[in-house]
């Protein structure tokens, strides 16, 4: 009688922020397909409900704003209440802003920084407190190629992702010996709502031409990071469309 093979993530519980669209929605679907129960976090109850209803597997959702200092602990508590454990936290929520600095809407820039930087700090800090006490788990932050090089057409966004990279690298070293892994997933151009691309035919055409990534491509990279043996830490996974000139 052959031994049943259990997927390495089956039975685990994850929190995914920014789960109502784009990469976060695709990550939620990929995780549930691997047997993970997910708490999908975002600011729109309507969008989150649609994600939960449209995703096979076990998905609960939580309406929360990562800019709120209490949001991180709220997410941890929601996962524990719904599923009794928490193994994976994906800090994915983010905003995008491009353009020359002298034409930047500073209110929009502050909102981006509050979401992309402060929001990640709020999420990671709460995740670390819980997972460090448990002695195991994974934290993955959605970064960007813009966090690895300064891109001139998006200096505010790039600055926020450089901050994220610094946070990931510092926290990873603080957690040595804890059993908790921390890494960043840094895609290039992703074809989704964040960049105003919603037409499935356009997404497929550009993906097939190598000029953009599908959100699902990024979600598969997340699964790769999470399924490495525990002695392996993927500190940074940078992925680009084949034809992106960066």
Residues carrying an active site annotation:
157
Measured CA to CA in angstroms, residue 171 lies from 137, 160, 181 at distances of 14, 17, 10
Q: What is the torsional sign of CA 104, 110, 116, 117?
A: positive
Residue 140 pairs in a beta bridge with 90, 183
Residue 88 pairs in a beta bridge with 14, 138
Q: Which of 181, 11, 156, 5 is nearest to 86 (CA)?
A: 11
Side-chain-facing half-sphere of 241: CA atoms under 13 Å: 21
**Sheet arrangement for strand 37-42:** 59-63, 37-42, 13-17, 88-91, 137-142, 180-187, 236-239
Q: Which of 124, 30, 19, 110 is nearest to 72 (CA)?
A: 124
Q: What is the torsional sign of CA 172, 217, 148, 143?
A: negative
């Amino acid at each position: 009688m052959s031994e049943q093979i259990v997927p390495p993530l089956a039975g685990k519980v994850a929190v995914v922020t920014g789960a109502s669209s784009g990469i976060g929605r695709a990550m939620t679907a990929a995780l549930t397909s691997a047997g993970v129960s997910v708490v999908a976090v975002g600011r729109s109850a309507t969008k989150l409900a649609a994600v939960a209803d449209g995703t096979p597997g076990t998905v609960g959702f939580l309406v929360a704003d990562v800019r709120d200092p209490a949001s991180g602990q709220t997410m941890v508590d929601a996962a524990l209440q719904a599923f009794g454990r928490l193994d994976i936290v994906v800090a994915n929520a983010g905003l995008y802003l491009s353009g020359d600095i002298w034409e930047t809407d500073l209110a929009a820039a502050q909102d981006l920084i509050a979401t992309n930087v402060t929001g990640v700090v709020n999420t990671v800090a709460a995740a670390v407190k819980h997972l460090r006490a448990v002695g195991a788990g994974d934290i993955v932050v959605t970064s960007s190629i813009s966090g690895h090089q300064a891109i001139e057409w998006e200096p505010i966004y790039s600055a926020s992702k450089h901050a994220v990279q610094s946070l990931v690298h510092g926290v990873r070293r603080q957690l040595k010996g804890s059993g908790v892994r921390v890494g960043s997933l840094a895609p290039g151009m992703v074809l989704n709502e964040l960049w105003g691309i919603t037409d499935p035919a356009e997404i497929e055409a550009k993906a097939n031409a190598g000029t953009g990534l599908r959100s699902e491509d990024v979600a598969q990279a997340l699964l790769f990071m999470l399924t490495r043996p525990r002695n392996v830490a993927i500190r940074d996974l940078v992925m680009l469309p084949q034809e992106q000139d960066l």
